[in-house]
Amino acid sequence: MPEPIKRARVRPRARVRRRARVRPRARVRAVLILAAYPRRSAAERAARDLLRRRILACATVTSNGRAFYRWKGKEYADPSTILWGKTLASRATEAIQAIREGHPDQVPEILVVRIEEGYAPYLAWIEEEVS
């Protein structure tokens, strides 16, 4: 009986993954502004205003959140909508001031988060939109 033919084992080619281009850390200038609102309508109004004034390049409003916090010794759990704004670090103070002026809360939650890395074309677009 003839010996069975052995097939050569072929390894599939490894996929070459392209790495997303990121801006080097030393040159990062973009920031993320987070602001919590009690109502979606107030967050959307702020987003439109900040975009029209070119303080933010982009704003995303997400709702259906719930904020748990203590205020003046009492615990609360209220509906919350978050405005996610993208801008440059040089425009952050202006963004905070503009949000504060139109915000319904006495002490609004406004945070600035530095963007360490990101897709270079997107970061360049942010810079172009608010410069």
CATH number listed for the domain at residues 41-130: 3.30.70.120
What is the value of pTM for the model shown?
A: 0.77
| Residue 72 reports pLDDT greater than 50 | yes
Q: Which residues pair with 71 in a beta bridge?
A: 74
* Closest residue by Cα to residue 58 from 130, 120, 124: 130
Q: How many CB atoms lie within 10 A of CB 23?
A: 20
Instruction: Please give the pLDDT value at position 26.
Output: 44
